[in-house]
Amino acid sequence: MRVSPDWLARLPKTELHLHIEGTLEPELLFALAERHGVALPYADVDALRAAYDFKDLQSFLDLYYAGADVLRSEADFHDLTRAYLARAHADGVVHVEIFFDPQTHTARGVPFATVLNGIRRALTDGEREFGISHRLILCFLRHLPEADGFATLEEALPHLDRIDGVGLDSSEAGHPPQKFERLFARCRELGLPCVAHAGEEGPPEYVWQALNALRVCRIDHGVRALEDPVLVAELARRRIPLTVCPLSNVRLKVYPSLTRHPLRQLLQAGLVATVNSDDPAYFGGYVGENWRACAEALGLTREELLQLARNGIDASWLEPAAKARWLAVIDGM
């Protein structure tokens, strides 16, 4: 590594692509199963971890949705979020923008407010305890019909003061962003900033659709944009950030190894690329590990690491004064 581990640990980091359900560690999953008397099809934590061997996005999502079944009470969502924030704090994360998937829970009879209250309480407490600022992003599941998304938005309406934006996640192939054009138009009318997963497994065309049909202000993943030079130029010109998740991309076989990951190419193309962990309990590393592993495997320079840190602040939804404060800290490193 070209910088000291201590310097990298102290560098102020953001996390702009993090599914809170994807932070459910096997230990907590077993504890919650016991809390609710749920029988699990795994003998123990090690057996469950051994199942985390994914061949693609869908094989991961199948386990991710099955795991979420133990999340039932407000306390569960609180404990999950608190554990994540403690972990992020240890990695030098100063600001988080977290996704949650309400449809995964309301479909099982868990009320929308139970999910939201638990996550929100932990975020508020976490700001006091760890000094981590936050935003919360409601994600629609793209494998479900747009009408289900509209029903979820209806449930969210009384809580919009506690929801900072909307996103689109789940199975990408066969579910183009265009499918949700009317839903996102309605969200924009409500003043909600929009992001979407695109160009993870899906083609560059899905990134174009996220920009033009959904009018997103940020692309989640977006790594496959590199296959389309016109798209790269457009993303660079408009300074549309990409929330890149390197360890996730390797675990889901988007790239065969971290040494083949295009993080540096994205920076060299002038894109606002950021480093994030996606679903760290499933992909073998929280955000600090993503930074360390990339620094090591790609030999990132001090200047490249500083640029990634600045990009995280720039790409965030922090207010301008807070951005300026963090950028000054980064410039002083």
| 299 C-beta neighbours (distance < 10 Å), count | 12
Residue 42 per-residue DSSP state: S
Q: How far is the CB of 245 from ligand HPA (least distance, A)?
A: 7
Q: Does residue 57 bind ligand HPA (CB under 6 A)?
A: yes
Nearer to ligand HPA, 57 or 153 (CB): 57
Find the binding residues for ligand HPA in span 154-173 (CB under 6 A): 169-170
- The strand order across the sheet containing 93-100 reads 13-19, 93-100, 133-141, 165-169
Q: Is 278 annotated as a binding residue?
A: yes
Rounded Cα–Cα distance for residues 111 and 290 (Å): 34
Q: Does residue 172 bind Zn ion (CB under 5 A)?
A: no
Q: How far is the CB of 56 from ligand HPA (least distance, A)?
A: 11
Q: How far is the CB of 220 from ligand HPA (least distance, A)?
A: 8
Nearest to 243 by CA among 187, 308, 293: 308
Q: Does residue 19 bind ligand HPA (CB under 6 A)?
A: yes
Nearer to ligand HPA, 12 or 149 (CB): 149
Binding partner of residue 57 among Zn ion, ligand HPA, none, CB cut-off 5 to 8 Å per kind? ligand HPA
Q: Is 53 annotated as a binding residue?
A: no
CA distances from 127 to 88, 135, 312 (A): 12, 11, 18
Q: Give every CB contact of residue 166 below 8 A, 6+ residues apart in sequence.
A: 137, 138, 139, 140, 153, 184, 187, 192, 193, 194, 195
Among 197, 218, 261, 310, binds ligand HPA (CB under 6 A): 197
Q: Are 145 and 154 in contact (CB under 8 A)?
A: no
Rounded Cα–Cα distance for residues 37 and 31 (Å): 10
Q: Which residues pair with 221 in a beta bridge?
A: 198
Angle between helices 74-90 and 26-36 (to 10 degrees): 160
Q: Is 19 annotated as a binding residue?
A: yes
Rounded Cα–Cα distance for residues 207 and 198 (Å): 5
Binding partner of residue 179 among Zn ion, ligand HPA, none, CB cut-off 5 to 8 Å per kind? none
Nearer to ligand HPA, 64 or 291 (CB): 64
Among 118, 200, 281, 287, binds ligand HPA (CB under 6 A): 200
Binding partner of residue 11 among Zn ion, ligand HPA, none, CB cut-off 5 to 8 Å per kind? none
Q: How far is the CB of 169 from Zn ion (least distance, A)?
A: 5
Q: Does residue 176 bind ligand HPA (CB under 6 A)?
A: no
φ/ψ (deg, to 5) at 80: -60, -50
Q: How far is the CB of 49 from ligand HPA (least distance, A)?
A: 18
Residue 68 per-residue DSSP state: G
Binding partner of residue 23 among ligand HPA, Zn ion, none, CB cut-off 5 to 8 Å per kind? none
53 class by beta-carbon count within 10 Å (0-12 exposed, 13-18 middle, 19+ buried): exposed
Nearest to 197 by CA among 165, 173, 164, 220: 220
Kindly list the catalytic residues.
200
Binding partner of residue 22 among Zn ion, ligand HPA, none, CB cut-off 5 to 8 Å per kind? ligand HPA
Q: Does residue 278 bind Zn ion (CB under 5 A)?
A: yes
Find the binding residues for ligand HPA in span 234-293 (CB under 6 A): 248, 278-279
Rounded Cα–Cα distance for residues 46 and 269 (Å): 41
Angle between helices 287-298 and 302-315 (to 10 degrees): 140
Binding partner of residue 200 among ligand HPA, Zn ion, none, CB cut-off 5 to 8 Å per kind? ligand HPA
Q: How far is the CB of 183 from ligand HPA (least distance, A)?
A: 17
Point out the annotated binding site for Zn(2+).
Answer: 17, 19, 197, 278
Point out the annotated binding site for substrate.
Answer: 279
Site of interaction with ligand HPA (CB under 6 A): 19, 22, 57, 64, 169-170, 197, 200, 248, 278-279
